[in-house]
Amino acid sequence: MKKSDIKRIVSVFCAMSVIAAFAACKQEDKPAETSFVELTPTPIPVETTTTPTTTIPVYSGPLPSSDIAVTWSETTVDPTLMYANVSEGEFLRVRKGPSTEYDIVGTLTRNQQVQVVAVTDSDWYKTSDGFYISATYLSASPV
C-alpha cells in the first residue's frame, strides 16, 4: 500500500467519523413528552354565618276595621301623606287606638308613606284606614 492510499483511507475514515458524530448529535424535533400528575383538590374551609330572620307584618292597608269605642277627641285634617321616621331596620307600630295600650295591627318601615286624616288630643295621627300612629314618629318628608 502506498502512502497516498493510506492518506486516502485515513481521510475517508475521518470524514465518516465526523459525519457519524454529527448524525449522533442531531435530534429530531419531537415534542417533549409530558407526564401528568393527577392532583386531588384539597377542600378549603369556608366560615359561614347565618343571620336569623324575623318576620314582621308590614302595614299595607286597608286593614280590618277598628272595633274600639272612641274615648278621645280628634281634629280632622286634610288628607296628608306622612313618612315613617324610624331608624334603618326599625319598625313603626300601627295601632287600633291612639295609645301604646292598644293592639298592634301592623308596622311601617323607614320612610314608608301613610295617609293621615285626623290628629287626636293625645298627639296621635289617624290613618285613612282608621288606625293610629304616634305623631312623634311621623314626618312630613322622608328622613
Homologous superfamily (CATH) of 74-139 is SH3 Domains (2.30.30.40)
pLDDT of 65 higher than 60: no
- pLDDT tens-digit profile of 16-30? 777 777 666 665 555
**What is the value of pTM for the model shown?**
0.54
Q: How confident is the model at residue 143 (pLDDT cuts 50, 70, 90)?
A: confident
**Beta partners for 120?**
74
For the chain, give every domain's residue range: 74-139
CB 107 within 8 A of CB 93: yes
